[in-house]
Structure 1
Amino acid sequence: MIWLLDLDNTLVSRDDAFAAWAATAVADDGGTDADLAAIVAADDGGFSPKAVVARELIDRLGWADDVEAAIDRFRAGIREHVRAYDGVLADLDALRAAGDRAAVVTNGVSHQQRGKIARCGIAAHVDAIVVSGEEGVEKPDPRIVEIALARLGVTDVDRDRVWMVGDAGHADVAVGRAAGVRTGWVSHGRAWDDAEGPVPDAVGATTRDVLALVTAGEPAAP
């Protein structure tokens, strides 16, 4: 099996890292619970434009009116707080020991994504890393999947043996479908949005759940 895995909120707890950093920043700068809620909402799970998040931090916490500096500050905070999900790297080790191949396929700027990967020690547990900011193409463009398969040396593999696993329907599931591979969605307890198309091939509350469903040959999940 070939595993293509998203990074943020799939292998590492990016949203938890942002929330933990934001709570500290708000407390340090005399903000309120309402400020914290607004900052976390503005982040939108990492999908909001970074300048929008920076502006919320500047306006609510009285930071210097420097959007780029604010972006650098909260990105650094995420890197400092990010952690790999418990057990998921061990699961990847077990899959690779059994002959599977695995690659990280992540959207984002190089230094930020590489920083998270380094902090969590992920490189030792996968066979390749593909970062959109380094490749000039990002999910859901299927070319990023082709880059990952080439990096793994498996461009001719049966696409039914390739799984794109991630938490974002509009990016991870969409890119898997566009590339003609199987799709696994990490729901984190959310319901699938039918506006994003049919339910993915495997659905689990956590990444470990998705991996277990697929390896057990029972990909269909509620």
Structure 2
Amino acid sequence: MIKAVIFDLDGTLLDRDRSLEAFIDEQHSRLADHLQHIPKDQFAKRFIELDAKGYVWKDRVYQQLIEEFEIKGTDWETLLEDYVTNFHAHCIPFPNLISMLENLAEKSIRLGIITNGRGQFQLDNILALGIKDYFEEILISGWEGVSKPDPAIFQKALARLDVSSDEAVYVGDHPQNDIQAAQAIGMKAIWKKDPDWNCMDADGEIDDLNEIGRLVGQFKTQELKAQLQSKKLYDKK
């Protein structure tokens, strides 16, 4: 029986693409003394390219931007600190985030998060979304010392939620780090569709977060049918 749903953060609960665009726009305006010689759309386009959907930390991004755009009067450390300090103020959730979490909570589903990233940075983003109190356990790779797709971080989450792998569902947007990694330890996995990736092996896929409750219900029904079928076969012996 499904007892827990565990979520990825970026690209799943947090609309990171829109959040990053909002931050870049505001940073370019706020630091105009150093960045005004760069057209905003050009600065944003190159930032997003270098960021690689968050898989490149911003120290390297800002070092490259300073070199390419010949940014003067500041350094990459200052720009990075500005990012770390201010990104959370631009966090944008995907639609129906709160209603989805409340729906699962009302069904007594235990909720958790597993996210890769820097500890306080990711926690600040979770707090900015106003969702921290919905989750019994939040595992951030920077604090756990292990990151997805390592099975150890998934096993930690299951242990802390006191559920087995076949009692839990993982929801994420990355085919390898989320879907395949969760399935590898026996969890069901729901893919939050992302146009930049293909994922053919998920147990379910969604466009909208509100679809998660329906899929969890389907998993429970499938499990119940399998149990009944197994009992019938046993009784015939």
Taking structure 2 as the reference length, what is the TM-score of the superposition? 0.80
What does residue range 79-118 of structure 1 map to in structure 2 within 5 Å?
Answer: 79-118=88-127
Q: Distance in 2 between matches of 1:205 and 1:63?
A: 43
Bigger radius of gyration among the two: 2
Tell whether the 8 Å contact from 1:14 to 1:78 is kept in structure 2 after alignment: no
Q: Which has the higher helix share?
A: 2
Is there any run of 5+ residues in structure 1 with no aligned partner, and where? none
Tell whether the 8 Å contact from 2:95 to 2:208 is kept in structure 1 after alignment: no
In the alignment, is residue 134 of structure 1 matched against residue 159 of structure 2? no
In the alignment, is residue 208 of structure 1 matched against residue 217 of structure 2? no
In the alignment, is residue 23 of structure 1 matched against residue 25 of structure 2? yes
Q: Distance in 1 between matches of 2:5 and 2:219?
A: 16
What does residue range 36-185 of structure 1 map to in structure 2 within 5 Å?
Answer: 36-59=44-67, 60=69, 62=71, 66-154=75-163, 157=164, 159-185=165-191
Q: Distance in 1 between matches of 2:197 and 2:137?
A: 31
Q: Distance in 2 between matches of 1:179 and 1:63?
A: 50
User: Do the aligned partners of residues 45 and 206 (structure 1) sit closer, same or farther apart at CA in structure 2, a change above 3 Å counting?
Assistant: farther
Deviation at 1:65, TM superposition (A): 5.9
Tell whether the 8 Å contact from 2:100 to 2:209 is kept in structure 1 after alignment: no
SS class of match (2:92): coil
Tell whether the 8 Å contact from 1:5 to 1:166 is kept in structure 2 after alignment: yes
Q: 1:40-95 CA deviation, whole Å, 9 max, x = no partner? A: 11111111233321223323371556433322222333211003223222211221
User: Do the aligned partners of residues 218 and 151 (structure 1) sit closer, same or farther apart at CA in structure 2, a change above 3 Å counting?
Assistant: closer
User: Do the aligned partners of residues 181 and 52 (structure 1) sit closer, same or farther apart at CA in structure 2, a change above 3 Å counting?
Assistant: same
Aligned to 2:218: 217
CA RMSD of aligned residues (A): 2.2
SS class of match (1:217): helix
Tell whether the 8 Å contact from 1:202 to 1:213 is kept in structure 2 after alignment: no
Number of aligned residues: 211
User: Do the aligned partners of residues 208 and 92 (structure 1) sit closer, same or farther apart at CA in structure 2, a change above 3 Å counting?
Assistant: same
User: Do the aligned partners of residues 62 and 127 (structure 1) sit closer, same or farther apart at CA in structure 2, a change above 3 Å counting?
Assistant: same
Deviation at 1:108, TM superposition (A): 0.8
Kindly provide the amino acid, as one letter, of the partner of residue 164 in structure 1: Y
User: Do the aligned partners of residues 153 and 160 (structure 1) sit closer, same or farther apart at CA in structure 2, a change above 3 Å counting?
Assistant: closer
Is there any run of 5+ residues in structure 2 with no aligned partner, and where? 221-237
Q: Distance in 2 between matches of 1:69 and 1:174?
A: 38
Q: Distance in 1 between matches of 2:75 and 2:170?
A: 37
Q: 1:12-62 CA deviation, whole Å, 9 max, x = no partner? A: 122211111112233432121222211111111111233321223323371
Q: Distance in 2 between matches of 1:205 and 1:182?
A: 17
